[in-house]
Amino acid sequence: MEKRKFDVAIIGAGGAGMRAALQLSTAGCNVAVLTKVFPTRSHTVAAQGGITAALGNVTEDDWLWHMYDTVKGSDYLGDQDAIEYMCRMGPQVVYEMEHFGLPFSRLQNGKIYQRPFGGQSRNFGGDQATRTCAAADRTGHAVLHTLYQKNIQAKTHFFVEYMAIDLVRDGEGRVLGVIALDMEKGEPLLVEARATLLATGGAGRIFHASTNAFINTGDGLGMASRSGIPLEDMEFWQFHPTGVAGAGILISEGVRGEGGYLVNSAGERFMERYAPHAKDLAGRDVVARAIAIEIHEGRGCGKNRDHVLLKLDHIGREVILDKLPGIREIAMKFAHVDPLDSPIPVVPTAHYMMGGIPTHYRGQVVVPAKTGPEEAVQGLYAIGECACVSVHGANRLGGNSLLDLLVFGRAAADHIVEYLKENPTSPPVPKGGLDLALSRLARWERPDGEERVADIYRDMQKIMQSHCGVFRRAEVLEEGLQKLLEVRQRLDRAAISDHSRVFNTARIEALELDNLMEVAFATIRSAIERTESRGAHARDDHPERDDENWLKHTLAYSDGTIDYKPVRLKPLSVPSFPPKTRTY
Amino acid sequence: MRFSIYRFDPDADANPYMKDYDVELEAGDKMLLDALILIKAQDDSLSLRKSCREGVCGSDAMNINGRNGLACITPLSALKEPIELLPLPGLPVIRDLVVDMEPFFRQYRSIRPYLINNDPPPETERLQSPEERAELDGLYECILCACCTTACPSFWWNPDKFVGPAGLLQAWRFISDSRDQATSERLDDLEDPYRLFRCHSIMNCVDVCPKELNPTEAIGKIKAMMVRRKI
């Protein structure tokens, strides 16, 4: 097998992976970025509304207020050391992106434009803040392209269209690199690295209706899980309040930030009932549940009464054309309405995975230790949506995901630089270290089977959609788990008909499905166990938050075992924000 | 609906061929990519790239009934049957609808597509007025799908020498940026019989751009700036 050796292997070229790559290349490290799609195809490109950071360009602001909002938004499940670090670093990483050339929209005084977003307040729960830095409604596109451009300048080494298959670990658990599939040639490649950084993004494709790209298949989570690392807080999935009804395409929270609001079939601005203070800019979990209730109680719109309407014509032609041009384009193409004069039909849609691979706030993957609470996996890091650091806890605030990518991409890279100094040599790859990856590749060489990948893929998505959605209850979840077990048995009997080596996308999709299965099982098993409602995890049969028993993180292992670890309530330098009732 | 799709697997086929597919599908408000996913569920050996399915990532560019476009934002109702799908023209085919994009990206990288500013960065943001920022509208939104460049006869003839409309649009994006200090070097780099001046304003690029950008106009502005700096 072909072999390459680098200081660092980064898996994934989205915002997090490329921010880390830039930091490492600039520090003089020899970095390889492996990505299954060309870097600017990564899903960061689809982020719209902006990056939240307390610049205070529009109204007075303080990173500590941002921290308070994030802790509250997380329904107190977020780790406060990581949240402090992220909010404190926010302004710096945004200014850096501006210096890198990101085309932010501008205020009259030439500073970066900021807009209000959900869950933002001034002075610890006071008036609405204006904290989200935007490049019109294409902020993710601007972030991703700017980072790719700076990596071209930094001469980062990209392996484009290489899909990572599995981690390589030695007997002591150290991660020695990764096996990847060269998609064009169909050959495996061993990339040895002293540090491996997973930045593979989300896994929203476990759901049938999702705002996520086709590539969001939880590849890093599958790799970590198969190598024995637990997945943290996988029951917490964000359903974005405003996906285009029927199509699932994201409509930015920035629409409501600019003054848009939701109405039901009676034309009522119903969020006034659910969140009297913040209204349409309450936490996403709160707004998504309100919409689900309106629809469930018969106040949905359209002939099937299956969606609500997002009204924005009143904010004016100029604002829509200048600040929301991409939204208008999406509404016209996918909902066949022009928001200049008609509201957009929307419905809560699976959007973001709060859980992921457990890490500390400098990006190292951490697992329960035999002695002491937890220990770092040597040589392994994770950042961005695939990681659970945990800054989003039970519910992420809008604009905090792009911030997460930039802050922890940079932080993990800085930690890796130190780690490389302390670990100048790499241990040899042990005999058998490649077996897992090679057997997964060989498995899809099987000539025939009675099941087809596309059918199993769709059935898994439908199960997750109907058994693990916005509202959950024990018997529905249990039934979902049973169905999922049956589907996985069918996967064992499946085969693909394409056996070409060259750009075999049938094989890629089958390998992706393995990863999605790991994520789906971790999600539904974690959801069954958590008998409380917190953030995005809403249990009809346990409607209250239960801090006495459940102020803890879930850890779900591939073998079905569930474990827990405490929430880090102690920040790095400021007083803790103790849990209290969460209202908007 | 009936489709005729270009197929070629270098592992198995001596020559490319067109394969017909029939799909039970109401065009309704569905997109071409929806149909391709149904076709791939029937025949998993069809290779294509896809990612965001909303027209922002640029993965699924192809030649659709003779015209370059993105499958995910091309409504089926607008297409005449049989719908003929070919890989993007002017680039080597890897397999089926998947082309080797490297000649396209090489030209993109050649224009130094990053902000060049050698002043020490300030502690906060560099200031830029809304009017200066508005100069970047219609330029920064490019998704690098290659629809424009692979529709350009000048690029077909000189893919190794002519930057092509997408690369030139980005060259103008950085020249136009009030924060960029490399205008003169950027113009020097393009002052060449091929890199810029192979553009003959055929305007296929403008015609096909799925984001409704205008590379020809950007190229015209670069040419005008070159003339201005000479006099």
Residues of A in contact with B109 (CB under 8 A): 152
Q: What's the half-sphere exposure (Cβ side, CA atoms, 13 Å) at B4?
A: 11
| Distance in Å, alpha carbon of B59 to nearest chain A alpha carbon | 6
3-state secondary structure of A475: helix
Residues of A in contact with B98 (CB under 8 A): 503
Residue B27 reports pLDDT greater than 80: no
What is the mean predicted confidence (pLDDT) over A519-534? 98
Residues of A in contact with B132 (CB under 8 A): 106
User: Are residues B23 and B43 in contact, defined by beta-carbon separation less than 8 angstroms?
Assistant: no
What is the mean predicted confidence (pLDDT) over B89-93? 97
Please list, in sequence order, all residues whose beta carbon lies within 8 angstroms of the beta carbon of residue A492, skipping any fewer than 6 positions away. none
Please list, in sequence order, all residues whose beta carbon lies within 8 angstroms of the beta carbon of residue A391, skipping any fewer than 6 positions away. A70, A74, A78, A79, A82, A83, A86, A400, A404
Choose the closest CB to B51 out of A103, A214, A249. A214
> Is A214–B50 a contact, with Cβ atoms under 8 angstroms apart?
yes
Residue A198 reports pLDDT greater than 70: yes
User: Are residues A363 and A376 in contact, defined by beta-carbon separation less than 8 angstroms?
Assistant: no
The residue of chain A nearest to residue B180, with distances taken between CA atoms, is A101
User: Are residues A381 and A24 in contact, defined by beta-carbon separation less than 8 angstroms?
Assistant: no
The residue of chain B nearest to residue A331, with distances taken between CA atoms, is B54
CA dist A114 and A59 (Å) reads 9
CA dist B137 and B146 (Å) reads 19
> Is A38–B59 a contact, with Cβ atoms under 8 angstroms apart?
yes
Q: At what angle do helices A400-422 and A139-153 cross, to 10 degrees?
A: 30
Environment class of A20 (CB within 10 Å of its CB; exposed 0-12, middle 13-18, buried 19+): buried
| Distance in Å, alpha carbon of B45 to nearest chain A alpha carbon | 5
Choose the closest CB to A103 out of B55, B57, B136. B136
Q: May I ask the CATH architecture of the domain B2-99?
A: Roll (3.10)
> Is A141–B44 a contact, with Cβ atoms under 8 angstroms apart?
no
CA dist A44 and A21 (Å) reads 15
Residues of A in contact with B127 (CB under 8 A): 109-111
Q: CB pairs below 8 Å between A and B: how many?
A: 154
| Distance in Å, alpha carbon of B192 to nearest chain A alpha carbon | 23
Q: Which of B39, B54, B176 is the best mutation test for A, with the most CBs of A within 10 A?
A: B54
CA dist B13 and B170 (Å) reads 38
The pLDDT, as a whole number, for residue B25 is: 87
> Is A98–B125 a contact, with Cβ atoms under 8 angstroms apart?
yes
Q: Which of A498, A499, A511 is the best mutation test for B, with the most CBs of B within 10 A?
A: A498
3-state secondary structure of B8: coil
Choose the closest CB to B130 out of A41, A108, A145. A108
Q: What are the pLDDT digits (tens) for B156-174?
A: 999 999 999 999 999 999 9
Q: What are the pLDDT digits (tens) for A357-403?
A: 999 999 999 999 876 678 999 999 999 999 999 999 999 999 999 99
CA dist A104 and A111 (Å) reads 9
Please list, in sequence order, all residues whose beta carbon lies within 8 angstroms of the beta carbon of residue B15, skipping any fewer than 6 positions away. B8
> Is B115–A453 a contact, with Cβ atoms under 8 angstroms apart?
no
Separation in Å, CA A105 to CA A108, A129, A132, A137, A541? 10, 18, 11, 9, 46
Choice among A523-532, B26-35, B221-230 with the minimum mean pLDDT? B26-35
Q: What are the pLDDT digits (tens) for A69-97?
A: 999 999 999 999 999 999 999 999 999 99
What is the mean predicted confidence (pLDDT) over A325-350? 96
Angle at Cα B57 formed by Cα A248 and Cα A329, nearest 5°? 55
Residues of A in contact with B44 (CB under 8 A): 452-454, 496-498, 505-506, 509
| Distance in Å, alpha carbon of B43 to nearest chain A alpha carbon | 8
Choose the closest CB to A99 out of B51, B113, B126. B126
What is the mean predicted confidence (pLDDT) over B46-65? 98
Separation in Å, CA A122 to CA A59, A194, A279, B47, B205? 9, 44, 16, 51, 48
Q: What is chain A's mean pLDDT, rounded?
A: 97
What is the mean predicted confidence (pLDDT) over A159-177? 96
The pLDDT, as a whole number, for residue A426 is: 87
Residue A291 reports pLDDT greater than 90: yes
List the end-to-end C-alpha distance of chain B, in Å, as a whole number. 59
* Four-CA torsion B196, B197, B202, B204, nearest 10 degrees: -20
Phi, psi of B77 (to 5 degrees): -65, -15
> Is B59–A41 a contact, with Cβ atoms under 8 angstroms apart?
yes
- Ramachandran region, residue B29 (left: φ > 0; alpha: ψ -120 to 50; beta: rest): alpha
Q: What are the pLDDT digits (tens) for A497-512?
A: 999 999 999 999 999 9
The pLDDT, as a whole number, for residue A132 is: 98
* Four-CA torsion B52, B54, B55, B58, nearest 10 degrees: 10
> Is B127–A109 a contact, with Cβ atoms under 8 angstroms apart?
yes
Residue A448 reports pLDDT greater than 90: no
CA dist A568 and A390 (Å) reads 9
Choose the closest CB to A502 out of B9, B109, B174. B9
Q: What are the pLDDT digits (tens) for A464-482?
A: 999 999 999 999 999 999 9
List the end-to-end C-alpha distance of chain A, in Å, as a whole number. 57
CATH class of B102-230: mainly alpha
CA dist A523 and A232 (Å) reads 9
pLDDT band at B18 (very low <50, low <70, confident <90, very high): very high
Please list, in sequence order, all residues whose beta carbon lies within 8 angstroms of the beta carbon of residue A73, skipping any fewer than 6 positions away. A119, A283, A392, A393, A395, A396, A397, A400
Residues of A in contact with B144 (CB under 8 A): 38, 40
Strand partners, A555: A232, A563
Residues of A in contact with B145 (CB under 8 A): none
Q: What is chain B's mean pLDDT, rounded?
A: 97
DSSP state of A16: H
3-state secondary structure of B44: coil
Choose the closest CB to B133 out of A95, A105, A215. A105
Q: Which of A26, A149, A217, A318 is the best mutation test for B, with the most CBs of B within 10 A?
A: A149
10 Å Cβ neighbour count for B25?
A: 13
Identify whether A284 is a catalytic site residue: yes
Phi, psi of B2 (to 5 degrees): -105, 135
> Is A501–B11 a contact, with Cβ atoms under 8 angstroms apart?
yes
The residue of chain A nearest to residue B117, with distances taken between CA atoms, is A99
3-state secondary structure of A368: strand
Choose the closest CB to A138 out of B41, B124, B141. B141
What sign does the CA torsion over A466, A472, A476, A477 have? positive
| Distance in Å, alpha carbon of A330 to nearest chain B alpha carbon | 8
Choose the closest CB to A110 out of B51, B54, B127. B127
Phi, psi of A207 (to 5 degrees): -100, 150
Choose the closest CB to A213 out of B47, B53, B125. B53
Among A138, A226, A284, A534, the one annotated catalytic = A284
Angle at Cα A424 formed by Cα A422 and Cα A430, nearest 5°? 110
User: How is the beta sheet containing A237-244 ordered, strand by strand?
Assistant: A237-244, A344-353, A308-311, A261-263
Looking up tokens 């391709």 gives B36
Q: Which of B5, B32, B56 is the best mutation test for A, with the most CBs of A within 10 A?
A: B56
Domain locations in chain B as residue ranges: 2-99, 102-230
Residues of A in contact with B143 (CB under 8 A): 40, 45, 141
**Size (chain B), residues:** 231
> Is A38–B101 a contact, with Cβ atoms under 8 angstroms apart?
yes
Please list, in sequence order, all residues whose beta carbon lies within 8 angstroms of the beta carbon of residue B68, skipping any fewer than 6 positions away. B61, B62, B88, B89, B147, B148, B150, B151, B208
- Alpha-carbon Rg for chain A, nearest whole angstrom, is 23
Please list, in sequence order, all residues whose beta carbon lies within 8 angstroms of the beta carbon of residue A230, skipping any fewer than 6 positions away. A358, A367, A368, A555, A556, A557, A563
> Is A142–B55 a contact, with Cβ atoms under 8 angstroms apart?
no
> Is A95–B124 a contact, with Cβ atoms under 8 angstroms apart?
yes
For residue A118, the Cα-to-chain-centroid distance in whole angstroms is 18
User: Are residues B44 and A496 in contact, defined by beta-carbon separation less than 8 angstroms?
Assistant: yes
The residue of chain A nearest to residue B43, with distances taken between CA atoms, is A497
Residues of B in contact with A145 (CB under 8 A): 140
The residue of chain A nearest to residue B127, with distances taken between CA atoms, is A110
10 Å Cβ neighbour count for A336?
A: 11
DSSP strand pairing (A308-311 vs A261-263): antiparallel
Residue B210 reports pLDDT greater than 80: yes
Q: What are the pLDDT digits (tens) for A200-231?
A: 999 999 999 999 999 999 999 999 999 999 99
- ipTM reported for the complex, 2 dp: 0.98
This model's pTM is above 0.90: yes
**What ranges make up the beta strands (E) of A135-267?**
157-160, 162-169, 175-182, 187-198, 231-232, 237-244, 261-263
Phi, psi of A347 (to 5 degrees): -150, 145
- Ramachandran region, residue A198 (left: φ > 0; alpha: ψ -120 to 50; beta: rest): beta
Query: Which H or E run includes A97?
Result: helix A80-100
Residues of B in contact with A142 (CB under 8 A): 140
